Structure 1
C-alpha cells in the first residue's frame, strides 16, 4: 500500500543571496562561465587544523576563493533547544520552470538517539529559495528518521530516503509554488539504509545500502542464521513505466565470475525482493562493501563512494575507503580513487607529529561542471578533493587534488553539490558544528 503524507509549509525569513555572476570567455571569445577558472587552483598541501577555526569562515580554501552561508540554523532552526539540524544532502530543481532557484535539503536527525529529536517534530526536508533567501520546511513527519539521500528526477520531482536498516524511499510531488507538495512512499525501489541516490536519463534509479556489509552482515529471515558478508550493496531499480516509481524491478551489483575485492566484471543480478533488499541481494550473489555512501553518474560511469575499507581479524582497516567506478555499458568495476594508489594515505591528525595529509573516509560525491568528480570526507578534518575522470590503464584517476578542508572541530562536510544551472558555486553542508546553531549550507565561489 502507498503511504501518502500531506505536508504543510512553514516559512522562515533569511537573508537574500545575490546570484549574479560575471561570464568569462577564453582566448577565442567562447563563453565558458566561471567554473573553468574555479577548477584552476593551487591545491592545498595540508588539511585544516582546528586551531585555524573561524566559525564565520570554516572552510580552509585556496587563495582567491570565498565562502558564504546559504542558510543555517539562524535562518531556520528546525530542532530547537540546542539540538543540531544535521544539514545533509542538497539538490536544486534542475529542470523546468525557475530551474535552479530552489534548493532541497535532507536533515539526518535520528529519532530518539542522543541529542536528536525525540518529540513530535520528526524528520524533515527543507527548501531554500536561492533568489530571496527564504528557508522553509517542505516535508516533515514523525515517521521519518535519518533522512539522507536526495535527488531531482528527470520528470520534475524530488526523491529522498532514510538511512536506517529497512529505510523507506520517498518521492515528493511538488506543487506549482515549488515550496510545498505531497510525499508518497515508493517501496518498490527497495527498503535499505539509503544514502546515495542517482537517476539516469532512462529513469532508472541507483541506490546503495549504507551498511558495513563485510563485517556486520545480517540475519537470514528464514533460518535465523547470521550471514557475513551481507548487504552493503549497490542496487539498480528499473521502473516498469518511465517516470513511475510505484512498480518495477530491483537488481543488485554482483560478480558472476568472481572478483578481486569488489572489482572486476560486474553484472546486475536479480530481480530481487525490494522488501528484504539487503538479504535478498546477498542471496542473489550481490557484492558486499563496507559502508557505500554516495553515488554520482558522469558520462555513463557510476561512481560509488565506499567510506571504509575491509578489516582484518583485529578490526583494523586494510585501507581507508575508496571510490569505485562502474561503467554502466560494459559493467566493468574498477578502483577510481584509493589511498596509497593515486592519493596519499592520511596519517595522524593536523598538528600532531608525523601527520600526513591524505584521503580518508570518503563520503559524498558531486559532478563538477568541467566533468571532474568532487569528493568530501566523513572525517575530521573533512577534506574536499577533485579527481580527473581521465584514468590510467587500471581505471584509476590520473589526478586527485586537495581543494578545501573543514576547520570546525568535530564537524563534517556533507551534501556537496554543483547545480547544473549555477556552475560558479560549490554548495556543501556542515553538520554537528561546534558553533551554536552552526549547522547549515555554505556556498564556495571564486573571487
Structure 2
C-alpha cells in the first residue's frame, strides 16, 4: 500500500477545549439524561454559525477543532469530519481524539482519505495518516490493545488498523489492512469484551439491484445490508479469524438470530447473502451496551412503488440469546416526522437515524442523517417487546445544509458530548463540536 504518515500540526485558536480526566462517577449535575426535551426540531432560519446546535436549557456548545484550525482540503473543499474516538486506555487516556474524514472520489482529490488527531489538552490538531487510495473513510474505534480501527464506506471497502507510537500518540508507526475482518461498505465498528469485532454492510439490501451500485449478488434482492461478527483466532490479533453473518428468523428482521459461517471475508456481501444472512435497508452504526448490540438501520423497507414504509429504526440484539427486537421505531415509541420545521402541519419526529453512542449513564444517544439533524436520547429500559420505554429529543442542528455525525462520549469525560458537523453552509465550518452540561 502506498502509505503516507504525516504530522501537520496546527494550534487551535478557539476557546472551549475540553479538559480530560472526568470520570463516569461525576456528579449528577453533568448527567446528559437530566434535561427537558426540545418541543420540536430546529428551524434553519434560526441558524447561527457560532451556535449551530439548538440545545436544552443548561447546556453549552463550543468548537473543538474546525477547518480554521486544520484545513486538510483547501480551496473551498469541505473536510467532511465524520466519526470520532479517543485513546480510551493506556497512558494519557482520553487526551487524544482521532477523527476520520469522509473524502470521496480520491481520483479528484489527490490527497486521498485522512485520519486526523486533536490533542484535547493543548488544542493542537494534525494529520496522523493520509493515503491517496483511501476513499470514504467513516467508522473509527479505539481497541483495548491500544490501536485504532478505521474503515471505508464503499462496496468492498477495507478495514485498517493503525498502530501508534507509544511515546507520542499523535504519531502513527504503521497502518495495516485487515482483510480477514471483511470487505464491506463499512460504517460502524464495535468490539466486545472478548475482542470480537462487529461490523455492518452500509447498503440498501432490501431494494438495491443495480450492479453499478455494488450489488454483487447477481441482481438478487435482498442482497447485502447485513450485520457481521469477526472472531479473531487470537485476542488482539485481527490478521486471522472467522467472519459470520447474522441470520434472523422472524418478521422484518426481528425474532430469533443466529450467526452463520464462517463466510468468505473477501466477498462478504455476496457470501453473507448466500449463507442466509438477514438483509436490512442501510445499516450504519453499532454500539454495545452491557450485553446488547444496538444497530442503526437508517432506512425502512420499500413497497412496490419504492415508497419507504417507515423512516428507519434501531434494532437491539441480545448477545446471549440473539433475540432481535425493534428498540426504536417511528410510530411505535417515537413520533413520525411530518414535513420540515416551518411547514404547515410539521411534526418533529424520527427520520434517517445514523450514528449511535453509549452515554455515561448507560443509555443510548443517536443522531440523524437528516435535515434538520436531530439528536435523541433513548432509555435502555424496555417493555416486554424490547422497545425503549422513553425516547426524547435532545438537540437539533440549525445549519441548513449540514449533517451532524460522529457522536461520542469519552470514557474519561462524562460531562462532554463530541459531535461533528459536515457539509456546513458556513465557509470552513466543517468541524468537531463539544456539547457540555453546565454545572448548577
- Alignment TM-score, normalising by the size of structure 1: 0.94
Distance 1:136 1:357 in 2: 38
The answer to whether the 8 Å contact 1:22/1:34 transfers is no
- Residue 187 of structure 1 is matched in structure 2 by 179
- C-alpha deviations, 1:114-150, integer Å up to 9, x for none? xxx7242110000000001100000100010100000
2:281 to 274, 290, 313: 290
Note if contact 2:4-2:131 (Cα within 8 Å) is conserved in structure 1.
no
- Pairwise CA RMSD of aligned residues? 2.1
Q: 1:427 to 1:18 in 2, by over 3 A?
A: closer
Question: Quick check: 1:107 aligned with 2:105?
Answer: no
1:109 Cα offset (Å): 0.9
CA contact (8 A) 2:22 2:414 kept: no
Q: Given that residues 218 and 279 in structure 1 are in contact (C-alpha distance below 8 angstroms), is that contact kept between their aligned partners in structure 2?
A: no
Residue in structure 1 matched with residue 223 of structure 2 by the alignment: 230
Aligned residues: 434
| Aligned residue number for residue 173 of structure 1 | 163
Per-residue CA deviations over 1:224-250 (Å, capped at 9, x if unaligned) read 831111000000000011100000000
Alpha-carbon distance in structure 2 between the residues aligned to 1:24 and 1:97: 15
In the alignment, is the contact (CA less than 8 A) between 1:218 and 1:231 conserved in 2?
Answer: no
Aligned residue for 1:160, secondary structure, equals strand
Note the 1:16-415 alignment, pairs <5 A. 17-20=16-19, 32-34=26-28, 37-111=31-105, 118-176=108-166, 177-181=168-172, 182-217=174-209, 225-255=218-248, 258-415=249-406
Whole-angstrom CA distance in 2 between matches of 1:316 and 1:306: 16
Kindly report structure 1 stretches of 4+ aligned residues shifted beyond 4 Å.
20-25
| C-alpha contact (below 8 Å) 1:188/1:246 kept by paired residues | yes
Q: 1:231 to 1:375 in 2, by over 3 A?
A: same
Question: What is the CA–CA distance in structure 2 between the aligned matches of 1:145 and 1:274, rounded to whole Å?
Answer: 19
CA contact (8 A) 2:333 2:391 kept: yes
> Given the two structures, how large is their TM-score scaled by the length of structure 2?
0.95
For the residues of structure 1 that align with 2:231 and 2:3, how far apart are their CA atoms? 25
Measure the CA separation in 2 of the matches of 1:22 and 1:237.
32
- Distance in 2, matches of 1:283 and 1:20, equals 49
DSSP-derived class of the 2:91 partner: coil
Pick closer, same or farther for the CA change 1:95–1:4 going to 2, 3 Å. farther
SS of 1:422's equivalent? Answer: coil
Q: Which residue of 2 aligns with 1:5?
A: 3
**Aligned mates of 2:29, 2:88 — CA distance in 1:** 18
Per the alignment, in what secondary structure is the counterpart of residue 227 of structure 1? coil
Instruction: Tell me by how many angstroms 1:38 deviates.
Output: 2.8
Choose from 396, 411, 416 the match for 2:407: 416
CA distance in 2, matches of 1:179, 1:275: 31
Q: Separation in 1 of the partners of 2:87 and 2:309?
A: 40
Alpha-carbon distance in 2 for matches of 1:40, 1:251 = 39
**C-alpha displacement at 1:32, in angstroms?**
3.4
